[in-house]
Amino acid sequence: MKNNLLFFLILMIIAGCSTLSVKKGDSQAQKESNIQNSFKKAAQEKFINGSILESKGQIPEAINEYLEALKFDPQPGIYFTIAKNYFKINKLSPALNYSRKAVQIDSTNTDYLFLLATIYAASRLDDSSMTVYEKIISRDSTNYSALFQLAQLNEKRRPNYSLAIYKKLIDLIGPEWNVLIRIIDLNDRLGNVDATIETFEELLKLNPSDERLQKVLIESYLKSKKYDKAKSLIDEALISFPEDLNLYEMKGNLYLQENDWANAYDQYKKLINSDEISFENKIGIGTIFLNVVEKDSVNLIYAKEIFSKLNKDTTDWQINAYLGEIELRLKNDSLAVQYFKQAANLAEWNSQLWVRLGSVLFDNGKYSKVTELLEKGVTLFPNDFAINLIYGLALSQENKNTEAKEFLTKAVRINSSDLTALTALGYTLNQLKEYDEALKYLNKALILNSKDVQVLGMTALIYDSKEEFNKSDSLYTLAMQIDPENILILNNFAYSLSERGVRLDEALIWSKKAVEKEPENSSYLDTLGWIYFRLNNFENAKSYLEKAMTYDKNNATILDHLGDVYFKLGNNVKAKDLWNKALELEPDNSKIKQKIEKGEL
């Protein structure tokens, strides 16, 4: 009996403990639930705060709030949002990390997968990106975006696979423009133009009024040179869309490809006359015709008409510059100068216009105009190589060698490897009788181009004046080997030899050749006459020197030489008269003075 009572008491205790235990468990569960709810509430608050900051563009601050939310409630949506925001500020590594976690928790969410694929692609992890897109497509084979992205990623490595996907997209959604463009581009790269055409011809049969398809097909016809089909389709499209200027542009392009310039101009003229076409595009049309001038000069006239029309509607410097170039090609230099001046006035800041204008004037021999113009140019653009060079060259041509030296030196300082600048400076220094300085720059020019005959001749001339005849003869010989028909070199070398009285037979041959080519050149006639004088053939000497006089009456050297000839012929009075005239022209010439004083050579 006692044992039964004890057993009953134990049962009662266990039961009591059990009751107490359940109550305690219920209390703990409630507590945990309350904690979870408070965490979720805190997460929601942080998430909302992050969303507000994100909407204001405060992305880093928004991310901090989202990260706080994640601590309270690690939901995949929060991971996704954090990844998306890191991606926005181009922090790819954390973006990829949080995006992966979102997908790990919920691998069925398409938005999560799309973001992950996008981040992979941005990180140049194309294989991983493709795998994710393939996963999306395996769940939904009609997902347009995933198919399009997968096709794009495969274009370089698997172009045919990409083409198959694009064609599937066309089947799914119809002729979508972005897809059509990709198909055209891929087929072009693969050389499948005919395949493109066949595809679009079939599509056009299904959608005969779709203008986008018509235009794509026209472009394909043009690329494959199927001009008749292109023309037919353009005319057909113009019936439905007579105001579509793009169709006229296509037709103009077609005629250009057929070299039918007149019809091309007629089509483009419609665009020029339209207010819908931008000014820049109209300039572009003008340049189209300028670019095909080499094929047919009539295009220069069409370009002129286009730019002249634009010039009536604007004062833009570009139009004047183009018209200047056109008139230059038409050999209307004075008009070209006017247009370039107008362009330079409208765009004083554009140094190239000053250069172009200066070049045109220089090429036309209007050196005083160049110096007048570029006096301002070198002030506006003191460190512009071309402006300093052209200005210096023009001054040199006007025999203003001291001023020329300043600007040519500056040009060489700006660009020490320009052959023209080095040569021009060398020439100018030679004119100033600064021979050693001249040689410094001319030898630099020869290092750049050892076969430049002009530089070789000029350098030889200076060595000759310094009586360094081994060097001068060597340079003249090299120049003649390079260009045996260069009459300036032939004449100068011949004259140098005649002055020294050496190799006169060779000098005579070269001098005759120079006179043969330029029979009215007084310098060449003087050289030949002087060689005959050295050969004691005074009658021939007299004949050529008198002929030289008819072309240059006020040349001291010719007068002096002819005086010497008359002296040898026994006419001392005539000789003295000629020497006196020579001295009037060169009053500092001591050799002529001595002859006059002595009355003999």
Instruction: With respect to residue 527, please indicate whether it lies within any of the assigned structural domains.
Output: yes
Torsion-angle region of residue 477: left (phi > 0), alpha (psi -120 to 50) or beta? alpha
pLDDT surpasses 50 at 217: yes
- 8 Å CB contact between 99 and 80: yes
Q: Give, for 596, the enclosing helix (H) or strand (E).
A: helix 590-598
* Helix-helix angle 279-290:261-272, to 10 degrees: 170
Q: Is the full-model pTM beyond 0.75?
A: no
In the block, which residue shows the tokens 């929601």?
Answer: 44
Residue 591 placed within a domain: yes
Task: Say if residues 136 and 113 touch (Cβ distance below 8 Å).
Answer: yes
- The whole-number pLDDT of residue 28 equals 62
- Side chain identity at residue 218, one-letter code: I
Among 16-25, 191-200, 412-421, 462-471, the range scoring the smallest mean pLDDT is 16-25
Q: Which long-range contacts (CB under 8 A, 24 or more apart) does 250-257 make?
A: 250/215, 250/218, 250/219, 250/222, 253/222, 254/222, 254/227, 254/230, 256/288, 256/292, 257/222, 257/225, 257/227
* Chain center to CA of 3: 111
Contact between 388 and 357 under an 8 Å Cβ cutoff? The reply is no
Q: Does 11 have pLDDT greater than 60?
A: no
Contact predicate 448/454, CB 8 Å? no
CA distances from 291 to 252, 253, 287, 295, 536 (A): 15, 13, 6, 9, 62
Range of the domain at 524: 485-601
Domain count, the chain: 1
The answer, yes or no, to whether residue 445 has pLDDT greater than 90, is yes
Query: Worst-scoring range by mean pLDDT, 11-20, 295-304, 349-358, 572-581?
Result: 11-20
Residues 136-175 have pLDDT tens digits of 999 999 999 999 999 999 999 999 999 999 989 988 988 7
pLDDT at residue 200, as a whole number:
78
Distance between CA atoms of residues 324 and 307, nearest Å: 10
**Could you tell me if residue 400 is left (phi over 0), alpha (psi between -120 and 50 degrees) or otherwise beta?**
beta
User: Minimal CA–CA distance to 486: which of 458, 447, 446, 528?
Assistant: 458
pLDDT average, residue stretch 176-187: 82
Exposed e or buried b per residue across 233-248, where buried means at least 16 C-beta atoms within 10 angstroms of its C-beta: bbeebeeeeeebeebb
- The answer to whether residue 131 sits within a structural domain is no
CA 143 to chain centre: 43
**DSSP code at position 377:** H
Largest CA distance in the chain: 183
- Alpha helices, H only, 273-332: 279-290, 298-313, 317-329
What local confidence, expressed as pLDDT, does residue 26 receive? 52
- Supply φ then ψ for residue 379, to 5 degrees: -75, -40
Within a domain: 42: no
Residue 508: which CATH number?
1.25.40.10
pLDDT score for 46: 85
Is residue 553 scored above 90 in pLDDT? yes
Identify whether 458 is part of a domain. Answer: no
Instruction: Give the Cα separation of 440 and 425 in Å (integer).
Output: 10
pLDDT cut 70: percent of the chain above it: 94
How far is residue 180's CA from residue 170's CA, in Å, rounded to a whole number? 8
Amino acid sitting at position 25: G
- Displacement of CA 67 from its chain's centroid (Å): 49
Q: For residue 324, is pLDDT > 70?
A: yes
Q: Using one digit for the tens of pLDDT, what is the confidence trace for 67-102? A: 998 998 899 999 999 999 999 999 999 999 999 999
- Residue 274 placed within a domain: no
How far apart CA 535 and CA 384 sit, in angstroms, is 53
Q: Is residue 17 part of a domain?
A: no
Q: Is the pLDDT of residue 405 over 60?
A: yes
Does any domain span residue 513?
yes
**Cα–Cα separations (whole angstroms), residue 304 to 279, 300, 309, 324:** 16, 6, 8, 10
Structure confidence at residue 3 (pLDDT): 41
DSSP state of 490: H
Helix axes 385-397, 401-414, angle to 10 degrees: 160
Mind listing the pLDDT tens digit for each residue in 26-51?
566 666 666 677 778 888 888 899 88
